[in-house]
Amino acid sequence: MKLRFTKMQGAGNDYIYLDCRQTGLPPDPPALARQLSRRRFSVGADGLICIGPPLLADADAAMYIWNADGSEGAMCGNGARCVAEYLYTHGVDKALIELDTPGAGRKTLLRTGEQMWQAGMGRFSTRAEDLPAVGLGAGPLLDVPLVVAGRSWRVHCLSMGNPHCVVLCDKTPPTGGALAAWGRALERHPAFPRRTNVEFVRYYGETLLDVTVWERGSGATLACGTGACAAAAVLVLRGQCPREQEISVRLPGGTLMVTVLADDTVLLSGPARAVFTGEVEV
């Protein structure tokens, strides 16, 4: 069977997109995500995103996410922007797009320029039950101790509709083998029964952060939209970054802009670009 797909990326966070609005979701999406995401052996990506018909009549579409390991994703900020760009270039000629996500509710996306979108990401939460997290207290889960492989960490945990564990670094955030070792260990720590995304953050000033990411189910990625939001939210809660002002979050694949509003709602702005289209035999 041949599948038509579009490869898209936001700040280097790349997914394979299937337009399933007329055909319905493919059989066994987890297996398909694992197959197609293998770099050098297939299309290669951080995961698979299927665009389906809206869950409610007043939305434009729904977004379903599977990570490279086949696990289901709750939310992807870069993915949401790319879905909006895809819809905009495939018949949904609107600058304001409403997107349903089964795991994280309704998201509103605003076109702010050529291949640029702002996503309303909803409110963050530092409550343990919302991640979920166990053994760390009820929350707020800020500056809590966590022992991993004999090393003691101070971590900040919050939900952006999906779980995040944020580690503040005095030096350049880890990359390569160090990112893989510590990211994987934190992702799978028993405190996070559903695993967690991990962000290593260097603070450079009240509107500038450097972040490296270990994504739950995908490993090291060039960017993570919800991770950028989580990193900025932690620095806002610590009083080091301002609310109501754009914060530049530099990731290996590019820069995303995050604004944390007074009510803890987070806005995420950045690029969304098609890379290529094609057909793949599955």
User: Of 76, 82, 157, 241, which is the active-site residue?
Assistant: 76
226 labeled part of a ligand binding site: yes
Question: Is 20 part of the annotated catalytic residue set?
Answer: no
C-alpha dihedral sign at 213, 219, 221, 224: negative
Please, what is the Cα angle at 211 between 270 and 130, to 5 degrees? Answer: 85
Q: Which residues sit opposite 61 in a β-bridge?
A: 99
| Distance (Å, whole) CA 11 – CA 32 | 24
Question: Is 50 part of the annotated catalytic residue set?
Answer: no
89 labeled part of a ligand binding site: no
Of the candidates 102, 132, 130, 106, the residue with the CA atom closest to the CA atom of residue 119: 106
User: Of 20, 50, 165, 224, which is the active-site residue?
Assistant: 224
- Find out whether the peptide bond into 242 is cis, omega within 30 degrees of 0: no
| Distance (Å, whole) CA 249 – CA 255 | 6
In sequence order, the 6+-apart residues with CB closer than 8 A to the CB of 233 are: 124, 158, 160, 260, 264, 266
197 labeled part of a ligand binding site: yes
162 labeled part of a ligand binding site: yes
39 labeled part of a ligand binding site: no
Residue whose tokens read 């962000």: 199
98 labeled part of a ligand binding site: no
244 labeled part of a ligand binding site: no
183 labeled part of a ligand binding site: no
175 labeled part of a ligand binding site: no
77 labeled part of a ligand binding site: yes
Q: Which residues are annotated as a binding site?
A: 13, 67, 77-78, 162, 197, 215-216, 225-226
Q: Which residues are annotated as a binding site for substrate?
A: 13, 67, 77-78, 162, 197, 215-216, 225-226
**Which residues are designated catalytic?**
76, 224
